[in-house]
Chain A
Amino acid sequence: MNWHRYASPANFKRLSDRLLPWAAGGAALCLGVGLWNALFVSPADYQQGETVRIMYVHVPAAWMAMFAYANLALAGAATLVWRHPLADVAGRAIAPVGAAFTFLCLVTGALWGKPMWGAWWVWDARLTSVLILFFVYLAYMALNAAFDEPERGARASAVLALVGVVNLPVIKFSVDWWNTLHQPASISRLDAPAIHSSMLLPLLAMAAGYTLFFVAVTLVRMRAGLIERRIDALQQQHLADAERA
Chain B
Amino acid sequence: MKLPKARAAKRRRLTVLLLAGLGLGTAAALTLAAFDDHLVFFHTPSDVAAKKVPLDRQMRIGGLVEVGSVERVAGSAEVRFKVTDLEHAVPVAYVGVLPDLFREGQGVVANGKLSADGTFRAGEVLARHDENYMPAEVAEALKRSGRWQETTGSAK
Contact = CB atoms under 8 A, between A and B. Distances in A.
A43 B109 contact: no
Interface string A185-207: 11000000011101100000000
A46 B138 contact: yes
B99 interface: yes
A194 B136 contact: no
B129 A116 contact: yes
Given A162-B21, A163-B24, A181-B126, A196 B40 contact: no
Interface stretch (B10-18, B51-59, B69-77, B113-121): B10-18
Given A43-B136, A199-B134, A80 B100 contact: no
Of residues B101, B127, B129, which shows the largest number of chain A Cβ atoms within 10 Å of its Cβ?
B129
B150 interface: no
Interface in B79-131: 98-102, 109, 124-131
Nearest to B11: A81
A124 interface: yes
Of residues B28, B102, B135, which shows the largest number of chain A Cβ atoms within 10 Å of its Cβ?
B135
Interface stretch (A12-20, A47-55, A88-96): A47-55
B143 to A, nearest CB: 10
A196 B132 CA distance: 8
Contacts of A24: none
Contacts of A52: 133
Contacts of B40: 178-179
B109 A181 contact: yes
Contact of A166 (B13, B17, B28, B128): B28
Given A162-B20, A179-B44, A194-B133, 17 more contacts: A48-B101, A48-B133, A80-B17, A116-B101, A116-B129, A118-B124, A119-B124, A122-B126, A163-B24, A181-B62, A183-B128, A186-B133, A195-B131, A195-B133, A196-B133, A196-B135, A199-B135
Nearest to B33: A177
A85 interface: no
B34 interface: no
Interface in B1-51: 10, 13-14, 17, 20-21, 24-25, 28, 32, 39-42, 44
A119 B126 contact: yes
Contacts of B10: 81-82
B62 A81 contact: no
B34 to A, nearest CB: 13
Nearest to B142: A46
A25 B7 CA distance: 40
Contacts of B102: 118
